[in-house]
Amino acid sequence: MTTSSTDELQLEYRPFSVRLERPLRTGHGSIESRDGFLVRVTEADDGGIDSPTGRPVGFGEATPLSGWTESYADCKGALEQAQAAFQAGGPEAALEAVDERSAARHGVTLALADFQARRTATPLYRYLGQGPMVARIPVNATIGDGTPADTAADAARAVADGFRCCKLKVGARSVSEDVERVRQVRDAVGPEVELRVDANESWTYDEAGTAIEHFADFEVSLLEQPLPAGALEGHATLRGNGVPIALDEGVLEHGVDAICRAGAADAVVLKPMALGGVDVARRVAAWVTELGVVPIVTTTIDAVVARTGAVHLAAAIPDVPACGVATGDLLAEDLARDPVLLENGSAVVPQTKGLGVEGVWTE
């Protein structure tokens, strides 16, 4: 564990690793565990455990993911720099010491936001958005790669559990196999369930066009990142052919302005860990909404602190569609009890002070 402090506040971080229940296959490869850092902000004279005297305590999580954020080693180095800057100049200096789009910044900003929201006795989503009370947000089930029969069975179980939106990972198999997987899922869940498909940059333009022809027949509501992130014009050309297009990796590579100028997306996927914090993601969501593009919040398969932060972020976005924040069941273990209840295809937003995550920091 590493600690730094100012006259009023103290910043600490410690490493963690949590295993996935089973490897998650995506177009980028297989994810088996999530390794990152838990971040904590307390008053400097706090006793070093979870809010021991009722004083505010804020938690953050910095969980890098290859291809999306800095490396684990770079994240650790950035947190070391943030620690030194925090000790010398406080929170603003700490944030200036880390890259804007980094998992390290996400961890520090989330801990600071949680601290301030607890201090003002405000749920984090209202601290972020200053809007009305939000009881719950819609969520989607994430269905990993598998055989057509296994994929259909997983989707059917998700619908039986109350989900009304399923997002299927594709791209690890041939287009024809993925089309068959989507067909069997549609047959299994019926016409009323929303289906989204995430290709993770796996297809060529011709492959994407072929997939879209079939997906339109299956009433797929959104095709996420079918082409490599650099192909803005290709994504723009794919739009308007029966299946709306969402960009995910493309958001990080190009930014919102370039995407909207190119007319490359109907929706954008916002991962707060990759964008550098819930504060950055909240600003991006407001901006794209003004431009007529739909924001969708997802996680990078995070532990409970960042996952709960993503729920609060989604709750701070007016009329948010189903979001990919119901990913806790992908983990075999976690840092603490999950304060977010999932029921009937929605996440019940914690209404306690701050994040609502407790018992996460033990000595």
Over residues 355-361, the mean pLDDT reads: 95
Which pLDDT band, with edges at 50, 70 and 90, does 283 fall under?
very high
pLDDT at 45: 63
pLDDT at 227: 97
pLDDT at 4: 53
Tell whether the model's pLDDT for residue 28 goes beyond 60. no
Q: Which of 262, 217, 259, 225 is nearest to 242 (CA)?
A: 217
Tell whether the model's pLDDT for residue 235 goes beyond 70. yes
Rounded (5°) CA angle 300-303-308: 85
Is 99 labelled as part of a ligand binding site?
Answer: no
- Token pair for residue 214? 């079939």
Any idea which residue has 């003002």 for tokens?
A: 120
Tell whether the model's pLDDT for residue 279 goes beyond 60. yes
Contacts of residue 73, Cβ cutoff 8 Å, sequence gap at least 6: none
pLDDT at 37: 98
Pick the residue with more confidence: 218 or 129? 218
Cα–Cα distance list, 182 to 76, 176, 322 (Å): 40, 10, 19
Average pLDDT, the chain: 92
- Token pair for residue 145? 């790669």
Q: How many CB atoms lie within 10 A of CB 7?
A: 6
Of the listed ranges 8-12, 120-124, 261-265, 349-353, the one predicted with least confidence: 8-12
| Amino acid, res. 102 | S
CB 34 within 8 A of CB 17: yes
pLDDT tens for 132-191 read 899 999 999 989 889 999 999 999 999 999 999 999 999 999 999 999 999 999 999 999
Number of residues that make up the chain: 363
CA 19 to chain centre: 18
For the entire predicted model, the pTM comes to: 0.92
Q: Is the Cα torsion angle 130, 351, 112, 311 positive or negative in sign?
A: negative
Catalytic annotation on 353?
Answer: no
Tell whether the model's pLDDT for residue 49 goes beyond 80. no
pLDDT at 66: 85
pLDDT at 2: 60
Helix or strand or coil: residue 319? coil
pLDDT at 119: 93
Tell whether the model's pLDDT for residue 46 goes beyond 70. no
User: Where in the chain do CATH 3.20.20.120 domains reside?
Assistant: 136-348
Phi, psi of 34 (to 5 degrees): -120, 120
pLDDT at 209: 97
Which pLDDT band, with edges at 50, 70 and 90, does 42 fall under?
very high
Tell whether the model's pLDDT for residue 52 goes beyond 50. no
Q: How far apart are CA 40 and CA 83, in angstroms?
A: 11
Tell whether the model's pLDDT for residue 65 goes beyond 80. yes
pLDDT at 118: 95
pLDDT tens for 294-335 read 999 999 999 999 999 999 999 999 999 999 999 998 899 999
Tell whether the model's pLDDT for residue 286 goes beyond 80. yes
Is 248 labelled as part of a ligand binding site?
Answer: yes
- Token pair for residue 120? 């003002």
Over residues 90-107, the mean pLDDT reads: 95
pLDDT at 29: 64
Phi, psi of 243 (to 5 degrees): -135, 120
User: Where in the chain do CATH 3.30.390.10 domains reside?
Assistant: 2-121
Tell whether the model's pLDDT for residue 3 goes beyond 60. no
Q: Which of 65, 43, 53, 62 is nearest to 104 (CA)?
A: 62
Over residues 2-14, the mean pLDDT reads: 74
Over residues 48-72, the mean pLDDT reads: 80
Q: How many CB atoms lie within 10 A of CB 100?
A: 11
Is 319 labelled as part of a ligand binding site?
Answer: no
CATH code: domain 136-348 is 3.20.20.120
pLDDT at 48: 47
Buried b / exposed e along 149-175 (16+ C-beta atoms within 10 A): eebbbbbbebbeeebbbbbbbbbbbeb
Which pLDDT band, with edges at 50, 70 and 90, does 351 fall under?
very high
Helix or strand or coil: residue 298? strand
pLDDT at 43: 87
Q: How far apart are CA 236 and CA 197, in angstroms?
A: 17
CATH of 2-121, one of 3.40.50.150, 3.40.50.2300, 3.40.190.10, 3.30.390.10: 3.30.390.10
